[in-house]
Amino acid sequence: MAKTAENSSFKYDPLNPRQRLGLLLIDEVPDRVVVYPLITSHAATVVGISVRCNCTDGKAMAHAQLAALRLYKHDAISIFSDVGMIAEALGSKLYFRENDVPVLQQPALDDSQRWEDLLVPDGMSLPGRYGVYQEAIEICQRETGDITPILAFIPAPFTTAALLRGPENFLADTLLDPQVCHHLLEISLQAGMDFADLCIEAGAVPMLVDPLASASVISPKTFCEFAQPYLKRFSDHLHRSDFDVFLHICGRSEAILDSVRAAGCDLFSCDKVSLSAAREKIGSSVRLIGNLRPADLLADDPSMIEEKVAAILQAAKNNPKGFILSTGCEVPIQAPPENIQAFIRAGREGGLYWGSNG
């Protein structure tokens, strides 16, 4: 049996995390629910480094992720810094804050008609900060890849295109100049697929992240016209390499659940969505991932976290296609460790399938 923690409630698991996720992905029932809070920049606080360092230094990112894994004993590692990585490699400029994630400072295109000036980087070279991901993945793969899945968050085409043009300008272009939008989306798709291939080669499983395609930002019609077709082509690319497709969309997405399924994803990480509604609508064909509110990890105490996890498990633990317990978005950077530990403990204890409460 796999030893997973020193805490008495975490003594032993019959499966290690890779085996557990592997069973889920072949439609078998694992020992318990996969417990996977989206621990990204929060890991920097575990080792006392700045978020800026975490986002720009592959060794530091790997060190932080491995330290967080030892502390929390969750079921997968998250390699992620920010959604601007591909846009940065294509020419957008980011502002790197010391203790928060980078933000867009200057989009690559002030003039939408200059889209032809963009050059897609060779995905197997290391433009921008691609090397940060590659180094972090390779270190984590050497240290724990045989027992712990490593997920690399890959900005999806809609989000990358918006960060190449500037979100407000890009959203305006969807109405005023849709042809240019599609040109940018083609470029973003190719760059994203190349970046995903690099991460796969290093040892990670891609997770597509598309926060700006959220129904909190765009209409279902805009999603269907400008986001879904490119997600589908990205999914087809990953399926050809025999990968199940993970997709995360922030904010509200109930209005686009059918479109998410049509986009070809196999696992959908959702944020502000009723898991019961998602289960009813797409749960027979898509594995659901979610979805404790990240803010709860800041505002609540451990007992409240445990109660909310129990409610999530009741709603989605027995989703027909399978379920992963997670947070609706990234774990807040300053989340108290005891709250994250409560989340994981409640998931492990309440998420059993091979046991009396399964």
Tell me the per-residue pLDDT of 101-136, one tens digit each, with 9 for 90 and over. 999 999 999 877 677 778 777 656 678 899 999 999
Compute, in degrees rounded to 10, the torsion defined by CA atoms 61, 337, 346, 72. 40
Is 172 contained in some domain?
A: yes
Mean pLDDT of all residues in 83-89: 96
Phi-psi region of 262 (alpha: psi -120 to 50; beta: other; left: phi over 0): alpha
Q: What is the DSSP letter of 244?
A: P
Mean pLDDT of all residues in 20-48: 98
Q: By the 8 A CB rule, do 213 and 249 touch?
A: yes
pLDDT at 260 over 80: yes
Q: How many folded domains does the chain comprise? A: 1
Q: By the 8 A CB rule, do 312 and 293 touch?
A: no
Q: For position 238, which CATH number holds?
A: 3.20.20.210
Q: According to the model, what pLDDT value does residue 126 have?
A: 75
Is 228 contained in some domain?
A: yes
Is 272 contained in some domain?
A: yes
Is 8 contained in some domain?
A: no
pLDDT at 9 over 50: no
pLDDT-derived band at 355 (thresholds 50, 70, 90) equals: low
Average pLDDT across the chain, whole number: 93
Mean pLDDT of all residues in 140-146: 97
Is 357 contained in some domain?
A: no
Q: By the 8 A CB rule, do 250 and 214 touch?
A: yes
Is 5 contained in some domain?
A: no
Q: According to the model, what pLDDT value does residue 197 have?
A: 95
Percent of residues, the chain, with pLDDT higher than 70 = 94
- The range of the structural domain enclosing residue 208 comes to 14-109+117-349
Mean pLDDT of all residues in 151-164: 98
Q: According to the model, what pLDDT value does residue 110 have?
A: 84
Q: Which helix (H) or strand (E) holds 262?
A: helix 257-262
Is 143 contained in some domain?
A: yes
pLDDT-derived band at 11 (thresholds 50, 70, 90) equals: low
| Bridge partners (DSSP) listed for residue 288 | 268, 323
Is 297 contained in some domain?
A: yes
Per-residue tokens: 15: 């499966």
SS3 164: helix
